[in-house]
Amino acid sequence: MNSLVNKQFDKVAEEYDFVTELLNNNDFFISNMSSQRNTVLDVGCGSGILALELSKHYKDVIGIDISEQMLSIANLKRKKENIQYINMDANKLNFNNKFDFIVSRTTFHHLSDVPTILNKIKALLNKNGRFVILDNVSEVETPATYGYILGALLEFIPNCFKYNIHTSVRVFKHSTSKHWLEHLSSDKYLSEQKYKEIYGQNLPNCTFFSMGCFMGIVWENK
């Protein structure tokens, strides 16, 4: 990640947190937790939604993120004695201690050198520790902006039935906001094939889980 991504997330932090908390699902991470439950590292923790959930299952949780605004929300809304939030660029991952469980959600497509970061993460895992990642994939490297706007329109009516009109309007406004669309227009995604190629080479014997526009991976340090 870089300063541009940092500024983009700082600008949308409050609304991003609202929408992410509303639509969030931690099941993939919870269903693939490590056998040892002492330490967790959440790479790209955002406003701490996943970190908070993992703090119920692990002794100590560290969440890192490049956005100070996201971390401010995390410390305000999701602060616990066993969670530590650190302002750190995942491209410069640096820890002396090791972890039983390392997770990352929709962060790796922002990183400049994925193989290098994957090797760092493998070195940070305890024996039998697990790395679980969920990230975006797309056959188009940077999808067109109109596609996101159309998607937000199609989701509006279902969201009205699922939540309420006020909430649905707020979700729609975030999804079509200038700052959010600017961020999406700078994203670059891997195709499913390229994703499996890169991650498969660097995480031998990992398991892939295809989930629409997302791809999940589980790798264990045996």
Q: What is the CATH number of the domain that holds 52?
A: 3.40.50.150
CA distance 45 to 62: 9
Q: Are residues 47 and 34 in the same domain?
A: yes
Q: Which pLDDT score, from 0 to 100, does residue 65 have?
A: 96
pLDDT at 4: 54
List Cα–Cα distances, 186 to 1, 143, 180, in angstroms: 12, 10, 10
Query: 173 and 111, same structural domain?
Result: no
Residue 188: C-alpha distances to residues 60, 77, 195 (Å)? 33, 30, 12
Sign of the alpha-carbon dihedral angle for 97, 101, 104, 105 = negative
Say how many C-beta atoms besides its own lie within 10 A of residue 207's C-beta: 12
Asked whether residue 48 falls in the same domain as residue 113, the answer is: yes
- Provide the number of structural domains found in the chain: 2
- Tokens coding 107: 């962060």
- CA-wise closest residue to 24 among 14, 34, 16, 13: 16
| 94-128 per-position pLDDT tens digit | 999 999 999 999 999 999 999 999 999 999 999 99
Considering the domain architecture, whether residues 21 and 65 belong to the same structural domain is answered as: yes
Distances (CA, A) of 120 to 2, 63, 75, 117: 18, 16, 26, 5
Backbone angles phi, psi at 174, to 5 degrees: -65, -45
In a shared domain, residues 133 and 149 = no
Q: Which residues of 7-44 are buried (b: 16+ CB within 10 A; e: fewer)?
A: ebbebbbebbbbbbeeeeeeebbeebbbebeebbbbbb
Q: Looking at the structure, tell me whether residues 55 and 159 fall in a common domain.
A: no
3-state secondary structure of 146: helix
Q: What is the pLDDT of residue 7?
A: 62
In this structure, is the dihedral angle defined by the CA atoms of residues 30, 34, 38 and 41, taken in order, positive or negative? negative
| Residue 59 shares a structural domain with residue 124 | yes
> Do 135 and 175 fall within a single domain?
no
pLDDT of the residue at 1: 47
pLDDT in tens, 65-94: 999 999 999 999 999 999 999 999 999 999
Residue ranges making up the domain that contains 167: 145-182
Same structural domain for residues 36 and 106? yes
Residues 57 and 34 in one domain: yes
Q: Do 197 and 166 share a domain, yes or no?
A: no
How much of the chain is helix, strand and coil, in % rounded to 5? 50, 20, 30
Q: Which residues of the chain have pLDDT under 50?
A: 1
User: Is the pTM value of this prediction over 0.75?
Assistant: yes
Q: How many CB atoms lie within 10 A of CB 153?
A: 12
pLDDT score of 95: 96
**Domain shared by 128 and 152, yes or no:** no
Asked if 16 and 114 touch (Cβ cutoff 8 Å), the reply is no
> What is the rounded distance in angstroms from the CA atom of residue 128 to the CA atom of residue 99?
10
